[in-house]
Structure 1
Amino acid sequence: MKLVLGRDDLAAAALAAVREAGAQPERVDIKPVHKASRGFVNASDADLCEVAIVTVLQALAYGKPVLLLPVTTLGRHQHQTLVTLGGLSVADVEGHSVGVRAWSQTTGVWMRGFLTEQYGVDLRKTQWTTYEGHHVDGAEDPSWVSRAPQGSKLPADFLQGRVDFGIMGNELPSDDRIHTVVERAHEVAEQWAKDQGFIPVNHVVGVSEAAAAERPAAILAAYDAMRSVLGAQEEGGDVALHPVGFEGLRGAFTKAAAYALEQDVIPHPVDYDELVERTCTALGVPPSRLGG
């Protein structure tokens, strides 16, 4: 049974639990972990895999055999990810150029959602540039988005002024000229999370339909083990940084799905309850077994 998890603590717990459940686990170490998504979604070359929340949404929209194990492996605020070098503000996004690594990158989906919802930005009045394709076969960039020349990299284009804004998370370069576009981004992000009842979720755990049907006990054991690790680490606060369980993830999935549909990341709505039902049916358990 092949597992791809970026966090060592979650991987260790899941491996031990799967072994205890009678399966033979193997951790496939792929860094950065998002590079495992394409093979998992399109070829089921892993049984349990850490994936971006938007990758799960696209997989469902395009009929891939992917289910959700409701565990958040990465949650974080996102308002700080829109950056610029000049004196531009959120009011200048329309009519200027913005680069993002991939149109389906979860950080980009969250940030563009904030732009439309909180700042009234019309995304189609902005010059968008992407640098990579999608993890899910069949997904394409919208017609109103351009692809950078092959070999181009967002950090370089941004620092050299070929795009006015960049949406970047971990790939943000270190340069004193860079500043966050959203004023008081941290305060705004915290207030948004309080209002919504959740912090934006980046990565969750996906399970192949075949693995769920063939090894349900091992999958459930892995869920329990990861839930225990995250529960022990969760600090007190208004909202959970790493929610676990179907109800814990409902807000983030529902909002991300709405943003993704608005941005043409997915071709049609994705129903969260259908995902819950499919997962529970495959595992042979009621939703309450997985925090539903």
Structure 2
Amino acid sequence: MAKNIQITIVAGDMDRMAAIKDGRVQVEGCDVTFIPMEPEEVFFRAFRYAEFDCCELSFSSHMRVTSQGKADYVGIPAFVSRVFRHSGFYIRTDRGIEKPEDLRGKLVGTPEYQMTAPVWMRGILDDQYGIKSNEIRWRSGGQEEAGRDERTPFEAPEGLDLEPIPEDRTLVEMFEAGELDALTTAREPSSFTLRKPNIGRLFPDFRTVEKQYYRDTGIFPIMHLMGLRKDLAEKHPWLPGSLYK
């Protein structure tokens, strides 16, 4: 009988991974060590350094590097994060923004332009409301901590107004100061949580809007998938299928 291989799986500490973490679900042919880690750190270390055997990956970043022939991981279609994103549009309520179309020409912050959640949000603006990405001025940077950069090299498409914010500033700081008109982000900004003045959601009743979006499109947006490092997939051709099961 073949001996099990040792494999480490790194992902967010969430209900979708609980059965792997506590051993209720076994990976055939493998002895698994599960390491819980915040997704942002997983993504940075995976895309920059390919540190992990198997890990949670940003769907949009994985598609980008795969399309460029630079992927260190093979994608496994186990989608451990799927989230509707209408809740992630935050606005200054003193800028005359009452509907999505009012974002045209506005200055909008985003943690990373290539980040999966904002990619979906830009798709929603385009598909549902006819707002092209080049009709908005984009600014990227750390949401709550200064100095965040794109996790993989990224060049803005021609005609897109995208610039990084100063390295010593945060999106939330600039949003509260009125230097940004809106934010598109996966995580609720502290300025909204703390109910700072003139901060609100573009879609206050976002659950109703998201339900209608699903009825209209049948789409339940994919955020993250699992990835297996290519050298392991090549060495053990059975391993991707075993992990998927």
**What interval of TM-score do these two structures reach, taking the shorter chain for normalisation?**
0.7 to 0.9
Counterpart of 1:281 in structure 2 is none
**Corresponding position of 1:129:** 139
Partner of 2:106: 96
Q: Is residue 2:97 matched to residue 1:80?
A: no
Cα separation, 2, equivalents of 1:70 and 1:193: 21
Find 2:176's aligned residue among 159, 163, 173: 159
| Distance change (3 Å), C-alpha of 1:169 and 1:44 | closer
Which residue is 1:140 aligned to?
A: 155
TM, length-normalised to structure 1: 0.68
Structure-2 residue corresponding to 1:265? none
How many angstroms apart in 2 are the aligned matches of 1:182 and 1:57? 29
With over 3 angstroms needed to count, the CA separation of the structure-2 counterparts of 1:85 and 1:217, relative to structure 1, is same
1:205 aligned onto 2:226 = yes
Unaligned residue ranges in structure 1 (runs of 5+)? 225-292
Q: What secondary structure is seen at the aligned counterpart in 1 of 2:123?
A: helix
Which deviates more, 50-59 or 205-214? 205-214
Please state if 1:175 is matched with 2:194: yes
Unaligned runs of 5+ in 2: 1-6, 142-147
1:221–1:7 CA distance, 2 compared to 1 (3 A): farther
CA distance in 2, matches of 1:60, 1:17: 32
Q: Does 1:111 align with 2:107?
A: no
Following superposition, the deviation at residue 12 of structure 1 comes to 4.6
Work out the percentage of aligned pairs sharing the same amino acid.
22
Matched ranges for 1:1-292 at <5 A: 1-14=7-20, 16=23, 21-30=28-37, 32-63=38-69, 64-86=71-93, 87-89=96-98, 90-131=100-141, 132-136=148-152, 138-142=153-157, 144-173=161-190, 174-176=193-195, 177-182=198-203, 184-224=205-245
- TM-score, length-normalised on structure 2? 0.80
Corresponding position of 2:4: none
1:50, distance to aligned residue in structure 2 (A): 0.5
**1:61-101 deviations in whole A, cap 9, x for unaligned?**
22113221111111111112111121412232112110011
The CA distance in 1 between the partners of 2:168 and 2:68, in whole Å, is 28
Structure 2: how far apart are the matches of 1:103 and 1:218? 33
Q: Which has the higher strand share?
A: 2
Give the whole-Å Cα distance in 2 for the aligned partners of 1:28 and 1:141.
Answer: 34
| Mapped contact 1:124–1:144 kept (Cα < 8 A) | yes
Q: Is the CA contact 1:76–1:199 (under 8 Å) kept in the aligned structure 2?
A: yes
Alpha carbons of structure 1 residues 105 and 74: separation in structure 2 relative to 1, 3 Å: same
- Kindly report the root-mean-square deviation, in angstroms, between the aligned alpha carbons of the 2 structures: 2.4
| Change beyond 3 A, Cα 1:101–1:27 | same
Q: CA deviation at 1:215?
A: 3.5
SS in 2 for 1:186: helix
Once the 2 structures are TM-superposed, how far is the Cα of residue 18 of structure 1 from its aligned partner? 8.6
Higher helix fraction (1 or 2)? 1
Q: How many residues align?
A: 222
SS at match of 2:104: coil
Contact 1:17 1:221 in 2 (8 A): no
1:139 aligned partner, one-letter code: F
